[in-house]
Amino acid sequence: MKIGIIAHLKHPIRKPFMGGLEAFTHDITKLLIARGHDVTLFASELSDPALNVYPIMSDTDYDRETLSRFRSHEMSEDFISTHHAYLELMQDIDNKGFDIIFNNSLNYVPITMSTICKTPVITVLHTPPIFEMKRAAAKERAAGGMTYVSVSEPNADAWKPYINNCTVINNGIDLNQWTYQAVNDRQYVVWFGRIHPDKGTHLAIQAAKLAGKKIKIAGSIADRHYFETFVEPLLDADAEWVSHCTHEELNGLIGNAEVSIITPCWDEPFGLVVAESLACGTPVAGIARGALPSILTHETGALTKSCDPEEIARCVLAASKLDRIACREQAVGRLCQISMVERYEHLFNEVIQKQFFRHAI
């Protein structure tokens, strides 16, 4: 198949990843190329050249220190630049000879423009309903040409008022890249991800201390004010920030931890950190929001609906007693990247065939 993949433009699609969406886009592009497809990734110019990148946005203004192109006085300019990048792409997309367009942009323009696009388009919903996308999806439904995929059942449920026939394909990870650790050293728990209010880093630190556990924090600072106000004051001999790790370092950090604490303060659509922790054999404790309750079982995690650190601390103690083998088995059975890409390939073929027969009639 000849596949055009549309990335979001907030960050380049390259390691180290700022979040799960960058990791998803990078990995699925790489897998589809490896599986023999002719793939073009439409992304910003600093994205990994091994992904056959067609740059649609300059990264001249991308700040590599803060890993952001946002500055308060430039937000409107950034919005306009992104709008025009997608608009120009979609105006010309039919001339590129693709069999399918795989949209992972989190932007309203590819959805809106798909109504005049002859090439079939699949849009992955990596986020709960946000204003611009849900308005675009509701309008697009009148034409009915788009195929939508959600990365989890709870996220599909959230989209039902706007999209009532959404395929669900859970995200997956490369299990060969996450080494199972049968025995942990039981000296610490871990929290990893972007340090941002949405991720609740400070709650994890408070809960670990209440549970009597040392905690290691791994991740880049996505919100400097949040870090300095809520996270940094909690750092001490029992709460260590190890900043951004290499993949190998992070694998060892998670695998040697007694428990991973995952504390979403919003309705996280999936959460690759859950899959990565389970693949290492590390059980999860945290807040039952978004997709977490649908990914974890009683054998692999302990969750609370409360944001109270005392409740989370109880979950930490409960999760520390769970079987590490069960965690790895769940990752292998439900969260494998190869199974994920096979399901997308099947969907691509199905959509292409429907488009062919529609035009043949």
Same domain, 190 and 319: yes
* Residue 342 to residue 63: CA distance in whole angstroms: 36
Same domain, 225 and 267: yes
pLDDT tens for the chain, 361 residues long, are 999 999 999 889 998 787 789 999 999 999 999 999 999 999 999 999 999 999 999 888 776 666 666 554 455 677 888 999 999 999 999 999 999 999 999 999 999 999 889 999 999 999 999 888 988 998 888 776 899 999 999 999 999 999 988 999 999 999 999 999 998 777 999 999 989 999 999 999 999 999 999 999 998 888 999 999 999 999 999 999 997 788 899 999 999 999 999 999 999 999 899 999 999 999 999 999 999 999 999 999 999 999 999 999 999 999 999 999 999 999 999 999 999 999 999 999 999 998 765 555 5
Residue 251: give its domain's CATH number: 3.40.50.2000
Same domain, 162 and 51: yes
Instruction: Kindly list the distances between the CA atom of residue 184 and the CA atoms of 190, 318, 340, in Å, as whole numbers in the listed order.
Output: 12, 16, 29
Strands 100-104 and 260-262: unpaired
Same domain, 197 and 237: yes
Same domain, 142 and 186: no
What does pTM read for this prediction? 0.88
Q: DSSP string covering 97-131, please? A: T-SEEEEE---HHHHHHGGG-SS-EEEEE-SS--H
Using DSSP's 3-state secondary structure scheme, residue 135 falls into helix
Same domain, 198 and 279: yes
* Residue 191 to residue 229: CA distance in whole angstroms: 18
Same domain, 126 and 179: no
Same domain, 45 and 162: yes
- DSSP H/E element including 312: helix 309-319
Angle 75-77-78 (CA atoms, 0-180°, nearest 5)? Answer: 65
* Cα torsion through 60, 63, 67, 68, rounded to 10: -80
Contact 189, 212 (CB under 8 A): no
Same domain, 291 and 349: no
Q: For the chain, what is the domain count?
A: 2
Same domain, 114 and 143: yes
* Residue 330 to residue 172: CA distance in whole angstroms: 12
Same domain, 155 and 238: no
Domain that holds residue 116: 2-172+336-360
Same domain, 26 and 88: yes
* Residue 111 to residue 105: CA distance in whole angstroms: 9
